[in-house]
Chains A and B, each alone.
Chain A
Amino acid sequence: MMRNLSALFAGALFGCGLLVSGMIDTAKVQGWLDIFGAWDPTLAFVLGGAVLPMIFVWRVAERRGMSILGTPIPDRVPVRFDPALITGSVMFGAGWALAGFCPGPALASFAYGGWGGALFLLAMVAGMVIAPALSARLTKA
């Protein structure tokens, strides 16, 4: 129960942060990537604002080793720059630029994005579901 309430609160705070920061506006996100056009640096402030408290949180979390509700803090994953990480990141960046949506704001847009946001969301979820099959082909090739 506490676990679900805390997750609900985190989701609400995350969503409010996306709204307040302007990151639900696809034009602002695309503006950040448009370095040869009317460049909009807002996203740097958003990322900076989010990373700063998290540097402190990671220190505390890794020292404790355990969350408040008794879940182990996730281990560091082995450092491997595998083809999936690189190809996936390239694909994500390309899609992010084309529509101005990454997964968080795409979901948030469900509340105010109209049919366009919903269509993107549908395609994104479809992509997430077919990804493992594509990934298997990628590693076989």
Chain B
Amino acid sequence: MVVPMDWVWGLVGGLMIGAAAGVYLLVNGRILGASGIIGGLADGTAGPTGREKLAFLLGLVAVPPLLVPLYASVSTNVTASPVVLILAGLLVGVGTRLANGCTSGHGVCGISRFAPRGIVSTLIYLAAGAVTMAVARHVLGVI
């Protein structure tokens, strides 16, 4: 049986994400949560952690494009519907701040700590995502 390369690269990229979360925790003593890092900067609640959050974002935005030439093409397949983008963005922004975490904070960091809130949040957003996908794509046909 041939293992699809996408799965192998998924695992490799996943290990890199885990290593990044490991560095941020072991060296900086912080939980790598993308929504907390962005949200803390956006609403001014970051306080003294603002500088390292900003440094994290700088690395996240500026460094990966250097790898892009290694790829034949990098596609993000972003929807062209402004209505969907704005609605989805608002839901993700409000939702991750209410839940106090997203795929990185609750997902990667919470599950690996066996944190009940992280595990429950992950199960809920996965289920909500699957239901939304089923309805929006297969019933309504809007995405």
A→B interface (CB under 8 Å): 2-28, 30, 33-37, 40-55, 57-58, 60-61, 66-74, 76-77, 79-81, 84-104, 106-114, 116-117, 119-132, 134-135, 138
Contacts and interface: CB of A to CB of B under 8 A. Distances in A.
B130 to A, nearest CB: 5
Nearest to B35: A103
A95 B23 contact: no
A84 B104 CA distance: 18
Nearest to A134: B94
16 contacts: A9-B23, A13-B59, A25-B75, A46-B17, A47-B14, A50-B107, A53-B18, A57-B26, A58-B112, A69-B29, A96-B92, A97-B128, A103-B103, A117-B76, A125-B38, A131-B93
Interface of B: 6-32, 34-35, 38-39, 42-43, 51-53, 55-65, 67-68, 74-80, 82, 84-100, 102-104, 106-109, 111-113, 115-117, 120-122, 124-134, 136-138, 143
A86 B130 CA distance: 16
A51 B108 contact: yes
Nearest to A116: B78
A22 B129 contact: no
A13 B20 contact: yes
B25 A73 contact: yes
A15 B63 contact: yes
A27 B77 contact: yes
A55 B125 contact: no
A103 B104 CA distance: 9
A107 B60 contact: yes
B117 A7 contact: no
Contacts of A119: 82, 85-86, 89
B76 A102 contact: no
Given A3-B28, A57-B25, A36 B108 contact: no
Given A18-B17, A97-B132, A126-B93, A88 B28 contact: no
A7 B56 contact: yes
B35 A128 contact: yes
